[in-house]
Structure 1
Amino acid sequence: MLAGLLFLIPAAFFVYGMARDRRRLSNAVWLGIALVMLLLFLADAGQDNPLVSLPLLLAFAVALVGLLLLPLALLANGVVMVRREGRSLGNLLSLLAGLALLAEMAYFAWGITQPNDWIRGSAIGLFLVSAYIAFLFVSLLLYSVIYGRTGRRHGFDGIVVLGAGLIGDRVPKLLANRLDRAMRLYRRDREAGRTPVIVVSGGQGSDEKVSEAFAMRRYLLERGLPDEDVVMEDQATTTEENLRYSKALLAERGLNGRVVAVTNNYHVFRTAVLSRKQGLRLQVIGAPTAWYFVPSAFLREFVALLVRNPVVHGLACAVLMAGGLALTQIG
């Protein structure tokens, strides 16, 4: 009974948060807590029921194997990223995460066998911190999928396409996917009798021959979109500026209704969080991304969301670390 109540409380907060604003970061946390409570409830209910306990044991075994293989998968992905995309810090994230996980596992396995209380405590504390970060990561990943698959898919007055890096003056595949998704949204609304405006947003980087907005607009016009329906915003250098400047351009045209921003799927939820922070009423839709690019890209998004609340997460990690140390001192 208690386990069921502990599931219903966070589940209710999750549903309420979704109904109020799907862009709330707390929705992801409530989803994670609700799922943990649900697993505890099922484990309690399955103690005397093999129809419940056996699937749970199987799921636990699969999760354990997945956890053990995760560092190797991240290392392999890191190698692929370096080979295909270069050695930037962002491209090295999955490789670094894999090495960090292997190091943490090794330290935990060694540390808990040591007679020194401080070593054992630090091993337990690091394990608890890792579990906390893993909980947040999985919660955000699951909620990002939910956010990306829900919400309106037509009936927009404005479509904002967020820029990404160019190759000289050429639109690369990552950015082309965003533009192709925007074109599908545009044509669907045109067929329904609406006349949405597309805003292509992105400034010019130091290694780019033209602005991202110029190259994006050219890409759309070459594929048959009317000149008057594609507007350039060529000053933005960050996602926040993409959203703010593009919404201002639409407002100048009297388009204050439904607006959608188009980016790649790994970037959807953080874009939604940023739009909420700026008080902008818009939805975000994702475009496909190459499979090998997603792990590093989502890790980058995860880190960016974490650093939005450094004090909260820092305190949580400090408490967990202190708790691990305290356990060995009490024992």
Structure 2
Amino acid sequence: MGMVVQILCIVMMVWYLIPVFTAHVLNSGNVCGILLFMLIYSYARHFHQVNRFLILKHAKLGMLVLALSLVICVMLTSSALAIAQTSKRPGQEGTVVVLGCKVGSQLAQSRIDTAVAYMKYHPEAYVVVTGGTGRDEYMSEAEYMRRQMVYEGVDSAHIVMEQEARNTYENMKNTSILLGEKNLNEHIIIVSNDFHLYRSDYYAKKNHLTYDNLAAPTPWYLLPTYFTREMIAVLHIWLS
């Protein structure tokens, strides 16, 4: 059993490393993921010695490890809740809201493609693209998404930009204001990647929005990194 766990840990560490070399993605998700599986690997390899050390010699440290394990379980639960959102489809038409993502990234393109596919079947709908300009971005996320969507055939007259938001909370808050200012349908269709939908749900409810979700797929090699990063963000919400 220990050998199986060690092999799985090595596979996961490699999986977390793939985005670094293929998409130049290095964030809290893959850093924490690699560290976590390094610890599990070490535990599996030295199972009996570690148990004796934690239980017999350093009980307080053992309790800390137990607490950390519970935190990990909570994080896994948040991940499961996010996955549960991906099966839900829009129950009624509304204003499409595409949440911002790093300019030029594969995740941003995934959200754009998902929104464009929806708009092809609902050309009368309006779409809000939301996201400001990050420190390493050459234009706002909203402007980038608007250009890509127009290039892919969406009527520019049906695109509304929100270029101030710096995070998911501001995406939702600023969008809720825009809906009233632009007299748009107040029922929204939230477009974001599958891993992000639990948190976007949370902030949509905070801003008293009525909504449906439309999940944009995440490339397989980015899944562990971004789900782990999202777990950390959700944990921060729960503790705040």
Return closer, same or farther for 1:226/1:65 CA change in 2, 3 Å cut-off.
Answer: farther
SS at match of 2:93: coil
Post-superposition Cα deviations, 1:124-168, rounded to whole Å, max 9, x if no partner, equal 535533442343233223222222212x425322001111112xx
TM-score, structure 1 normalization: 0.64
Return the alpha-carbon distance in structure 2 between the equivalents of residues 87 and 126 of structure 1.
28
Q: Distance in 2 between matches of 1:72 and 1:135?
A: 20
Query: Is residue 164 from structure 1 mapped to residue 105 from structure 2 by the alignment?
Result: no
- 1:188 matched residue in structure 2: 121
User: Aligned Cα RMSD in Å?
Assistant: 2.7
Question: Structure 2 CA distance, aligned partners of 1:104 and 1:164?
Answer: 37
Post-superposition Cα deviations, 1:41-84, rounded to whole Å, max 9, x if no partner, equal xxxxxxxxxxxxxxxxxxxx8xx887554422221123212222
Give the TM-score normalised by the residue count of structure 2. 0.86
For residues 257 and 82 of structure 1, the distance between their equivalents in structure 2, rounded to whole angstroms, comes to 39
| Corresponding residue for residue 132 of structure 1 | 70
Matched, 1:101 2:40: yes
Paired residues of 2:3 and 2:44 also in contact (CA < 8 A) = no
Instruction: Measure how far apart 1:237 and its partner are.
Output: 1.2
Kindly indicate which of the two structures has a greater share of residues assigned to helix.
Answer: 1
Could you tell me whether the CA contact under 8 Å between 1:243 and 1:275 is conserved in 2?
yes
Task: Note the 1:55-94 alignment, pairs <5 A.
Answer: 67-84=5-22, 85-94=24-33
Distance between the aligned counterparts of 2:236 and 2:153, measured in 1? 42
Q: Is the 8 A contact 1:104 1:126 kept in 2?
A: no
Q: Is the 8 A contact 2:179 2:185 kept in 1?
A: yes
Distance of aligned partners of 1:201 and 1:138 in 2 relative to their CA distance in 1, 3 Å threshold: same
User: CA 1:210/1:143 → structure 2, altered by over 3 Å: closer, same or farther?
Assistant: closer
Matched, 1:295 2:224: yes
Give the whole-Å Cα distance in 1 for the aligned partners of 2:155 and 2:53. Answer: 70
Structure 2: unaligned runs, 5 residues or longer: none
| Deviation (angstroms), 1:181 | 0.6
Counterpart secondary structure, 2:115: helix
Aligned to 1:229: 158
The letter of the residue matching 1:177 is S
* Shift, 1:97, TM fit: 2.1
Question: Does residue 184 of structure 2 align to residue 245 of structure 1?
Answer: no
Larger radius of gyration: 1
Q: 2:51 aligns with which of 92, 112, 130?
A: 112
CA contact (8 A) 2:128 2:160 kept: yes
| Cα displacement (A) at 1:172 | 3.1
Deviation digits for residues 74-116 of structure 1 (CA, Å, limit 9, x no counterpart): 2112321222224444442322222232344456531333598
Counterpart of 2:127 (choices 185, 195, 198) is 198
Find the residue that maps to 1:225 and give its secondary structure.
Answer: coil
* Corresponding pairs, count: 239
| C-alpha deviation, 1:266, in angstroms | 1.2
User: 1:263 corresponds to which residue?
Assistant: 192
Distance between the aligned counterparts of 2:132 and 2:224, measured in 1?
26
Among 83, 104, 109, the residue aligned to 1:145: 83
**RCO greater where, 1 or 2, for CA within 8 Å and sep 6 or more?**
2
- For the structure 1 residues 308 and 154, does the alpha-carbon distance in structure 2 shift closer, same or farther, using more than 3 Å as the test? closer
CA contact 2:5–2:44 (8 Å) conserved in 1: no
